[in-house]
Structure 1
Amino acid sequence: MPTNANKPVSPLLVVLAFATVYMVWGSTYFFIKIAVAGFPPLLLGALRFFTAGLLLMVWCAIKGDKLFVPRNILHAAISGFLLLVIGNGVVIWVEQTLPSAMVAIMVTSPPIWFVLLDKPNWSTNFRSKSTIAGLLIGFTGVILLFSEQIESMLGTSAASSKLPGMLLLVFGTLGWASGSLYSKHYNNKGSSLVNAAWQMLAAGAFFIPASFLTNEVQTVKWSNIPAQSWYALAYR
């Protein structure tokens, strides 16, 4: 009797899945820009990740998933810090000063870091002509897309204010790649949804005290936050 694993996948579902990823993932930088216009960056990260992690954890509990596995929680916390605090947190921070389109282009660099940082697979990756060619083509594409903005930016007085954000964003992409590789090599055997929930709760556990220490919570005027920032937070 054939199993579900051998059942062919509908091409339409594949197209819809990719379209959803492109639209949701691609638009997230635009909505971060809208959200951070009303929320302080660390408070935005705290609200986003802790709320999402809590809701997902409740859903996992309703499903009956096993939630408290110390080893899995530890790995999720480490990968969550790298992915969401360093990787996504830097994106939130730099969008205070950088255009969302510029950020979206720059965060396409993680594939380069994946290959450079994935030491266990160096012998395979660096012997693969297709991998090297893909990296070179992708890197060239990023430079071409970004060259006009770099040239125009460096030709203005705004260069000094945007350069730190650009360098910080490179660090953020390194964090995202490191977190992804950590998840790959220390793959948890538990539920992927539970793992994602712990990742977000771990990120929230960092952002919440950080937002208090930087006086964002104490000084934010909730009534002054525009409705579109709340909508953008809900979308994300």
Structure 2
Amino acid sequence: MEDQKISAAKIVAAYLVVYIVWGSTFFFIEEALRSFTPFVLGSIRFIIAGSLLMGYCKLRGYKLFNKADIKQAVFVGFLLLFIDMAAIIWSEQYISSGIVSILSAATAIWFIIFDKPKWKENFSSPAIIMGLAFGFTGVVMLFAEQLMTNSIPQEEKSQNITAMIVLVLGTIGWTIGSLYSKYYQKPKSWDKKKEPSLNVMVKTAWQMVTAGVAFTIVALVKGEYAAFNYTQVHPADWGAMIYLVLMGSILAFSSYIWLLQVRPATEVSTYAYVNPIVALALVYFFTDHQVTVLQIAGLAIVLFSVLLMNWNLYKDNRTFRAIRYRKKLKKLRNMAPKSSIPRIIEVADFQRKQKEKAEKKSKEKDIS
């Protein structure tokens, strides 16, 4: 009983980290940009985070080298952590972290559009099609707000639109990297002599190192490091950098990976609904940026679209199936005479077991 309580406490703590810390990283990136240029920020963050994570993996005794896995990690890390994060960091020079977080939440749109093997399944679902329509509507609303506002100069307005376009392109890079990781990883049966696959933490460490190296190269080429003077960095901005490295890249990711091992993936994915709310709240309370009604409406529409696009996953999730089963059983109990309740429970349990057997056979058939 005590172990269960500890386990429940760990799960709640991990969710709080993933929900709040990841949501707050948008705000801390904006804070750090007061002293760091975009590519220097990315360089320092991911070089340190990747090195720390690699060191942790070494201490845990994980294998660090596997040519095939490293090659894949470098490619995926370039798309996921360099292209996408470079777009986020660069964009936050011009637009608020709240708007950046909303547009990042709309990444689900690109997963539906670019996931070609699932086109037939996705585009035959009314919920997913409605989700796409709502998602695009939310994104258009954010662009329209920038175009229609008369409170900022035309040059600044154009720069804001450019930043938003760059951010959208970055989320597309994230999507392509994620889909590559999903579909193009060779199965274990591909080669019996193949080396054992690296631990997921090791792969992520290589991805972070890749991103750090890419950021460093660009920062050197652009002359950002030549102009960088660490003595002029405000102490609060060093604090933001440390937060991004330790809390954002190390703690939050580790919590996310752990949750995927102990909780359903569809449940863990709910962080996508909370992160932009956290980011927008931090913008409202701790920055000079204005949080408009249109931004809040855009956020609500985008999050609703994400819900619709994932509806088929949520309704088939085992947690939701268990809830529906309990409600159905409770209803039968209330309808039946007391003497028949044991029989109802027996029949319901039999039906549940039969259904589980059928699902197991279906999965085994799909695998074979």
TM-score for both structures, normalised by structure 1: 0.87
CA distance in 1, matches of 2:8, 2:119: 34
The reply to whether residue 80 of structure 1 matches residue 77 of structure 2 is yes
Which moved further from structure 2: 92-101 or 139-148?
A: 139-148
CA distance in 2, matches of 1:155, 1:205: 37
CA distance in 1, matches of 2:209, 2:222: 20
1:158-211 deviation digits (Å, cap 9, x = unpaired): 312212111111111111111111121234742110010000011111111221
Matches within 5 A, 1:145-156: 148=145, 151-152=148-149, 156=153
2:71 partner letter: L
Displacement of 1:64 in angstroms is 1.0
Q: Paired residue for 1:55?
A: 52
Show structure 1 runs of 4+ deviating over 2 A: 9-20, 128-158, 186-190
2:199 partner letter: S
Q: Is the 8 A contact 1:105 1:146 kept in 2?
A: no
Displacement of 1:135 in angstroms is 3.1
Which moved further from structure 2: 130-139 or 95-104?
A: 130-139
Q: Which stretches in structure 1 are left out of the alignment for 5+ residues?
A: 1-6
Displacement of 1:49 in angstroms is 0.6
Displacement of 1:131 in angstroms is 2.4
TM-score for both structures, normalised by structure 2: 0.57
Alpha carbons of structure 1 residues 80 and 161: separation in structure 2 relative to 1, 3 Å: same
The reply to whether residue 36 of structure 1 matches residue 33 of structure 2 is yes
Of 215, 227, 230 in structure 2, the residue corresponding to residue 222 of structure 1 is 230
**Percent same amino acid at aligned positions?**
41
The reply to whether residue 20 of structure 1 matches residue 17 of structure 2 is yes
Greater Rg by CA: 2
Aligned CA-pair RMSD: 2.4
Alpha carbons of structure 1 residues 133 and 196: separation in structure 2 relative to 1, 3 Å: same
Q: Paired residue for 1:174?
A: 172
CA distance in 1, matches of 2:150, 2:110: 25
Alpha carbons of structure 1 residues 234 and 150: separation in structure 2 relative to 1, 3 Å: farther
Higher relative contact order (CA 8 A, sep 6+): 1
CA distance in 1, matches of 2:53, 2:7: 28
Number of aligned positions between the proteins? 229
Alpha carbons of structure 1 residues 68 and 123: separation in structure 2 relative to 1, 3 Å: same
Of 177, 192, 202 in structure 1, the residue corresponding to residue 210 of structure 2 is 202
Q: Which stretches in structure 2 are left out of the alignment for 5+ residues?
A: 187-196, 245-368
Alpha carbons of structure 1 residues 165 and 146: separation in structure 2 relative to 1, 3 Å: closer
